[in-house]
Chains A and B, each alone.
Chain A
């Protein structure tokens, strides 16, 4: 396209001066813009305001009956209360009185009578009563959204819910389960997001076609929580305003601004500048920079996500216990958390995440190639084995897969890696067609049964049973004894005894299961130095803002 320029011959003074004029006018203009805008930058956020950069694009719904994502949990944790709740200052203490001050359980272990707290008001000004509690729990069952199973597993159905969840007076809620369950199991489930108590008058004011306010509550909140939702812009930001009458304490942060910033470097820059107080999605490199900055600090918290590898018991020779054990010794757990997973995962070898009731800290396995080789030789496979590991095509999982491939190869196990989309890998996994699956599992509610039910419970190992929700079934692991033990743990009334039962199940699981539990997720948060009291909720809960001061 470039043509030749006819030799212009002469260029007048005028032209040259025109160019200079243009250049200087442009430079002056740019300077003016810069001068005008540079004054607008603020130095730090106000004392009573918290500004947080995080990702909120996973939020699908703000209705507690439907929300099932991390960011949604964070929002609802602060805008609603539940009947029983964890104490953010002592999460390890287990469930504590929330909107219910006390409870009794009948002799047969099926009837829970909960006494409601007095003097609590919803953000609308309506007083909180047992009717609200009954409405909220029934509503969650009736709406049948994804997390409803957390409640329906106690036998509540559309047909019986008016009888089984009932307010007998303003202060008393009675819940009747279909059979005996551990008190801790029922109460832990009530502490999940789905147990959030909704202002039934407000919800019903917005009812449309019998939806119990569902359409409206998808984008609004109506709770008793420490904060009310002031504005909500999906994928962009939301603003929380403190509830001055909050029954626990007066939140020090009057307003909390949550902004969607997906890029770690952008979050870090804003944190360094003091435009935000908290950055929740910093990459390991940015975390390193933040920890080296005197004005900033890094907080670390455990999350519920577990990374694991599992061997399909339908595939020989993987069904040989010696081979399974060889795999467990042929993985460099610590090597990975020191390098590719640094600051993101910690070594963890039991199926319950740490901070759960019944957590098990023991780590019996470490990299020992000689031992792995010896075990393979004992299994008659001294010449080696060939396997395929299915995993998702996500960078982190792929890095782990490659590291595992490296050490397994040293032990004489030839590994082919099959990176797949989520749908593909899940499809094969659920159809029990994989050799080995490498992936992650996150607990659904803050009770040990959530993971025990999937990792250590398989009532029918037949293909036709199609228990695709259970990882034990997906790996064709037939465990009548452990299934019984897991079922018994769910019914144990004595909480300490129950915790011990889970520890013993996990020890047995560590020893014999085809699951190689690898890591537990860590969350690292960057904060301005003055920010105190932020609790991100560990594995069992979500973030709390009312405890924050600065």
Chain B
């Protein structure tokens, strides 16, 4: 409600202010020039629209003025004969007799121009009082005044009708207006044109101003003109030219005499003579083309109405609409002004109207900008506070924190002496926060004004400065001294002065890089420490905190630091996600990919996944080998039911890996109406590699299974033995034998239990490979055959294997055993003849498992084969190198590998591994 009233008041204030500004400017005629410029433009637009139908100009050479009655009386009589409506002399002819003026008096429609005398001191060109009313009056020759041209000496009965003339007023040399009257010694005198026009029209003219604008719309060529000679010689083409017209008699402008500059000069490049100007001015009055201008009060009212209306319209428009409206309404004003001027000769204050409109637009724009800026500023300040609140600055302000920091810096960097100084706004000198192994003199020295070297150099460098002059008092050991500015948000918050013994100063670059990283964190800690203290001082009240940062550069500094803090944290988070080994994708809540970390990129390349391009649905379909509907179900489960999806997935390419897929929503906490709400922000997708864990789990399962198998087997013996012992049919000797067997079983079981316990208790670290453990004896064979199958097919060799369905576990490393078998098979394939078989047999005997490999191939001398496999003195190929590595592994497993060969017969290998229970 208050905002609404505030808006109304603001608008009212703007309207009032604009009106006042314009009124003041109008009072000082600030718009005259612009108005005349507009007037010129309008004149140009409506040129050639109306002709000069009621005025005729008779141009006489200047020298004819002296020709007396012969010329001028003749002209007068002739014009009278031709029924001229009136005759207007723009001069007093010379050498005429009183008959001329008496005749003029007799006709009653003859008027003469009487010049104002140019006198700098008494020039009587005063504006007329507003109460002045037009009149029509004759003047007697006796009404002479020193400022007027003297009247010819004529009899009193032949008094002359005269109107005053003067050079028309001008602005910057352009004549646009004509005087309507002059006030001389409290006596008002009409001008020649006004006198003639009132006579012509027979009514007084309602001219309210001392001057009126002349209508220049007619081109000068359309002003009817007759040469005096032609008139006198009677060569009148048509008496209609004279009849009922106002005949202006004036002197033609010699070519070498400049005329008057008018709007016609601007648009048609012509200058006009004074008689022509009189003719145009008279024509303006006769055609009622004198332009009506609004009174000041009307103008003020008009502007007030327009501004008020516009202010309300601006209120409902946005900034873009407001600018369009302003342009449109300005155009409308111009059109309206032109139409009024063209058809009604009313002159609107067009410049003032347009200026008022644009002023209002500008104020409205500034007002909206200000409001927007205020809201933005408030939002930023609030955000700054929220950010500041989320950081545990209290801890950073504690003494213990800085003590810990000092100890850490001392121990990690092996520093000899160190001192941390803080510079707070308002302080002229840095103050000590903590010092270690520094003397009081050192501390006091560093607490001086820091606007000196080497502080200024360190600030300029914005990094660790190795000093050539010692900063601390010299001691017996050789030291290197550094000064590090602590900067946060482009502001120096303190210094870190330190000394390291030269013998501990090993790697300058690494040491300075460490100083840089630590200084960055120290700077941030200093900032939070200062913020905490500042907030405590302001009683933690929101309003005071607001004013604390509101205004001036403080808000910029506060925001800059908050944003820097945020950036640090965001960068930290981004780096954590990016560097996280767990492959991770972050989706938005629409299931579109936002971020993919490096781990997922690597995984995508290995298993041909399209993490970047896929939506969550597509990714789930690929990953879980499922259809779209199931993927949708998963997505709904996460998004709508807000449950996590945890599922084991297996990815297979060149290698096979097992992962746990974890999909869950993550939230952003937003404060609404004082309570924290969890807003869904996206979905976190992680693939945790459990391949090793899964393998180890499988291995332990196998061990446990083997134990159960053995127990079940032996349970049969024990049950049978117990029946025999309790049977009366059994002889004593048989019972002794049974008891012996039973004892043997118990002993064997104890041994097995120990063995199994040992294996189950082996700590299998998920991050390292299993080196020697009871494993399935057959699976590595199948893996190895798959590995070499391609090259066997290329060599046209088949691998034939006969494997028992049920076999014991063997001691080996699962992945390595597969590689060992693959190495043996590769050698056999390499040696084998095309279209022959490699046979692979697995046999369990003597507490061991025997793998037998044979081929039909070229073979080699057995002695050489033995050398290749077991002698270090022989250079061998990569394939035999692999076998040698295999033999080493087999030895580690406490197994054996034997080989034999015969030329043209082939190779055979026997791998023997220990079996488990």
The answer to whether A binds B is no
Interface residue ranges, A against B (CB under 8 Å): none
Which residues of B are in contact with A by a Cβ distance under 8 Å? none
